Amino acid sequence: MDHKDHRSIGTLIAVGHDEVQQGLVDAFVAADIPQPKEADAAAGLRAVLADTNLDLIVMSSHLGGEFVAPMIAEVRRGKLGPHPFPVVIVLTDDREPANLRQISNCGPDDIVLMPCEPEELLSRINVFLAGDRRPLVVTPGYAGPERRNTERATPT
């Protein structure tokens, strides 16, 4: 995705924390990213993902105590929503390596550890919107950005 004009981006913010959610919405609007769709619970997230063509999703790994990162895998596999490869950034305050691996295995483009300033998040988003994104792969067990190192990813 190479978007110079942010006004054409379909965006979803689903973080489940009112102050953080509003801060992100305000930061996006200030950066000329149009008024994003919002969800604050798992059911709302699923509904927006199912019915909306999105280019960018910023979401928490958990909403209302429910682990929602697996919905990313459903999107990537074409089982949820009309577009399987939007840019997906997952926010989490969980620093346990096993839990981060579980989130990573769902196929997000990036995992951002909280707390994070909106400006830092926007900077990371702009990298993806400028077209600097890892190649996407689909295998029987994973769909998302290529995560193997260069040697392993290069066919022999």
Q: Cis omega before residue 140 (within 30°)? A: no
In tens, the pLDDT along 41-89 reads 999 999 999 999 999 999 999 999 999 999 999 999 999 999 898 999 9
CB atoms within 10 A of CB 34: 13
Averaged pLDDT for residues 92-113: 94
- Between these two residues, 23 and 135, which has the higher pLDDT value? 23
In tens, the pLDDT along 109-151 reads 999 999 988 888 888 888 877 777 777 777 777 777 787 665 5
User: In order of start, what are the domains of the chain with their CATH numbers?
Assistant: 6-153 (3.40.50.2300)
**Among the listed residues 17, 16, 54, 49, the one whose alpha carbon sits nearest the alpha carbon of residue 33:** 54
Q: Are 29 and 51 in contact (CB under 8 A)?
A: no
Q: Are 123 and 105 in contact (CB under 8 A)?
A: no
> What is the distance between the alpha carbons of residues 81 and 75, in angstroms, rounded to a whole number?
6
pLDDT of residue 51: 92
> What is the distance between the alpha carbons of residues 125 and 5, in angstroms, rounded to a whole number?
13
